[in-house]
Amino acid sequence: MAGTPIRSSMRGGRSRRAMADINVVPYIDVMLVLLVIFMVTAPLVAPSIINLPTVGNAAPQEQAPPVVINIKADGTMSVKYKSDAGATQEDTMTKAELDGFIASRQADHPDQPVVIAADKTVQYDAVMTVMSDLKARGVKRVGLLVKSQ
């Protein structure tokens, strides 16, 4: 048996298995080459030039300052707003008075934003009630005022 090759079955009964792992090194090489190609060609691509139309002497739209509804810790509400004369006013109101004020204000200034500034100890339910009342009155732009850190 000196010249005959030894079969794998004679070596302890173990046979060779096919390799189940995928060799990813060639894929990584291809991806790196593509990355280099894109990095080199990206600055060469010229952005398209667009000729935009010009606008005449259009006056910028004036935006009305927001109406600020302050909800204090004790539950009272005050409303701060600019009157049509330009003076800043602040009035303490009940919920019913607030509803009437917002309805009349929205009739005169339909796009005026309303901002709610609530004390941090005020219940979430009270703020959400005011927000839902504002939405029911047709206020399109409602926001919350917070203190930045």
Look at residue 103 and tell me whether its pLDDT is greater than 80: yes
Cα–Cα distance, 104 to 99 (Å, whole number): 9
Mean pLDDT for the chain?
Answer: 83
Check residue 109 and give its pLDDT: 84
Check residue 37 and give its pLDDT: 94
Residue 36 backbone dihedrals phi, psi, to 5 degrees: -65, -40
125 in a structural domain: yes
129 in a structural domain: yes
Identify the domain containing residue 92 by its residue range: 67-144
101 in a structural domain: yes
55 in a structural domain: no
Cα distances (Å, whole numbers) of residue 28 to 20, 25, 33: 19, 5, 9
Q: Is the dihedral of CA 94, 96, 99, 102 positive or negative?
A: negative
User: Mean pLDDT over residues 49-54, rounded?
Assistant: 73
Structural domains in the chain (count): 1
Check residue 147 and give its pLDDT: 80
Look at residue 4 and tell me whether its pLDDT is greater than 70: no
Cα–Cα distance, 126 to 149 (Å, whole number): 24
Look at residue 127 and tell me whether its pLDDT is greater than 80: yes
7 in a structural domain: no
For the chain, how far is it from start to end, CA to CA, in angstroms?
88
123 in a structural domain: yes
Look at residue 7 and tell me whether its pLDDT is greater than 70: no
- What dihedral do alpha carbons 24, 30, 36, 39 form, nearest 10°? -90
Check residue 148 and give its pLDDT: 74
- Per-residue pLDDT tens for 10-29? 555 566 777 677 889 999 99
What CATH code is carried by the domain that includes residue 133? 3.30.420.270
What's the pTM? 0.57
50 in a structural domain: no
Q: Is 119 helix (H, G, I), strand (E, B) or coil?
A: coil
Check residue 10 and give its pLDDT: 54
CB atoms within 10 A of CB 79: 19
48 in a structural domain: no
